[in-house]
């Protein structure tokens, strides 16, 4: 089927179908939230939200929903079906996360300079470390879900 | 939809990974088709049938 959204979709037929479902569900939820926001701003004068905040919430709602559905579907790591590949993938993700945190911190130090005190060090390392932890957490959930699903399909 | 894909594949001595690589889908998709948890498109059914040297009837028609 020809559609301009093809570039966003996976090549695998099953994955493509599921991702399309997630995008559709996300769109419906986004539409409902936008209609709700419109009604509240038009008729509920005691419930007013800043425009910028409303737009931000809408974007996060859509992206967050699609992302979480994808992570929890267990279809990101399609080849993780044995304990060996599961552990291997976890190690690979851990190494990738460490590399990301290290590179991020290094680039930050190059542009911002060496921190002078403990607080500045915490600020410098805090952001990449938090990003790394969040990234690892979601990757871990995705790998675990994929492993569980794939194991049942063997 | 139940089918004969798994029986045929095992008889031919092909792994899920090998079959998936030959028809250009993921191993997970083959597993889901074999378990009857995903109904493939006609195009994918034909690819599987060709790869397993079977007709669509033999693989997908009214499996008990």
Read off the pLDDT of residues A107-137 as tens digits, 9 standing for 90 and up.
Answer: 988 888 888 888 888 888 888 899 999 999 9
Contact at 8 Å (CB) between A92 and A77?
no
Return d(Cα A26, Cα A86) in angstroms, integer.
30
In the predicted model, what is the mean pLDDT of residues A70-84? 93
**pLDDT digits over A4-55, tens only?**
888 889 999 999 999 999 999 999 999 999 999 999 888 887 778 888 999 9
CB nearest A13 (choices: B34, B35, B44): B44
Residues in contact with B17: Cβ distance below 8 Å, sequence separation at least 6, in sequence order: A79, B27
Distance of CA A99 to the CA centre of its chain: 19
Q: Which of A22, A47, A73 is the last residue of a domain?
A: A73
ipTM exceeding 0.90, yes/no: no
Residue A78 lies in a domain: no
Tell me, what's the pLDDT at A16? Answer: 94
| A140 lies in the same domain as A117 | yes
The token duo for A13 is 């037929």
How far is residue B19's CA from residue B41's CA, in Å, rounded to a whole number?
16
On whether both A95 and A149 belong to a single domain, the answer is: yes
Query: Is the per-residue pLDDT at B62 higher than 80?
Result: no
Looking at the structure of chain A, the number of domains it has is 2
Q: In this predicted structure, what is the pLDDT of residue A44?
A: 84
Q: Give the closest-approach CA distance of A150 to chain B in angstroms.
A: 6
A102 plus A66 within the same structural domain: no
Specify the range with the lowest mean pLDDT, choosing from A2-6, A7-11, A80-84, B33-37: A2-6
Return the pLDDT at B64. Answer: 57
Average pLDDT over residues A53-82: 94
Whether CATH 3.30.70.260 fits B5-60: no
Is the Cβ pair A14, B17 closer than 8 Å? no
B1 pLDDT higher than 80: no
Tell me, yes or no, whether A58 and A110 share the same domain. Answer: no
Asked whether the beta carbons of residue A13 and residue B28 sit closer than 8 angstroms, the reply is: no
A89 and A57 in a common domain: no
Of the residues A28, A55, A73, the one at which a domain ends: A73
Asked if residue A106 and residue A44 are part of one domain, the reply reads no
Q: Distance between CA atoms of B38 and A82, rounded to whole angstroms?
A: 22
CA A153 to chain centre: 26
Domain hosting residue A44, numbered range: 4-73
Instruction: Give the pLDDT score at B63.
Output: 56
CB pairs below 8 Å between A and B: how many?
A: 40
pLDDT at residue A63 is higher than 90: yes
- For position A138, what pLDDT does the model report? 96
Does one domain contain both A51 and A95? no
CA–CA gap between residue B10 and residue B50 (Å, rounded): 16
Residue B42 has pLDDT above 60, yes or no: yes
A138 and A94 fall within a common domain = yes
The whole-number pLDDT of residue A120 equals 85
Q: What is the pLDDT of residues B3-23, one digit of tens each?
A: 899 999 999 999 999 999 999
Helix (H, G, I), strand (E, B) or coil at A53: helix
Residue A45 vs residue A151, higher pLDDT: A151
Chain A nearest-CA residue for B41 = A13
Mean pLDDT of A67-82: 94
Final residue of a structural domain among A73, A95, A119: A73
- Domain positions in chain B are 5-60
CB–CB contact B27 A79 (8 Å)? yes
Q: A14–B32: do the CB atoms touch at under 8 Å?
A: yes
């Amino acid at each position: 089927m020809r559609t301009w959204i093809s570039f966003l979709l996976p090549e695998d037929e099953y994955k493509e179908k599921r991702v399309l479902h997630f995008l559709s569900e996300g769109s419906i939820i986004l539409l409902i939230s936008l209609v709700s926001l419109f009604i509240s701003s038009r008729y509920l004068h005691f419930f007013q939200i800043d425009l910028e905040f409303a737009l931000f919430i809408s974007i996060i709602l859509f992206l967050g929903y699609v992302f979480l559905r994808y992570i929890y579907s267990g279809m990101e790591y399609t080849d993780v079906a044995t304990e060996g590949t599961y552990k291997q993938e976890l190690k690979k993700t851990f190494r990738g996360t460490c590399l990301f945190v290290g590179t991020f911190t290094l680039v930050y130090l190059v542009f911002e300079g060496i921190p002078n005190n403990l607080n500045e060090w915490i600020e410098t390392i805090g952001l990449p470390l938090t990003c790394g932890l969040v990234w690892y957490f979601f990757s871990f959930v995705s790998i675990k879900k994929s492993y569980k699903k794939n194991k049942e399909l063997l | 939809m139940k089918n004969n894909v798994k029986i045929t594949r095992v008889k031919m001595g092909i792994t899920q990974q090998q079959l998936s690589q030959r028809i250009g889908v993921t191993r997970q998709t083959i597993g889901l088709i074999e378990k009857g948890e995903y109904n493939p498109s006609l195009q994918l059914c034909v690819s599987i049938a060709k790869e397993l040297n079977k007709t669509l009837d033999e693989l997908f028609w009214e499996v008990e």
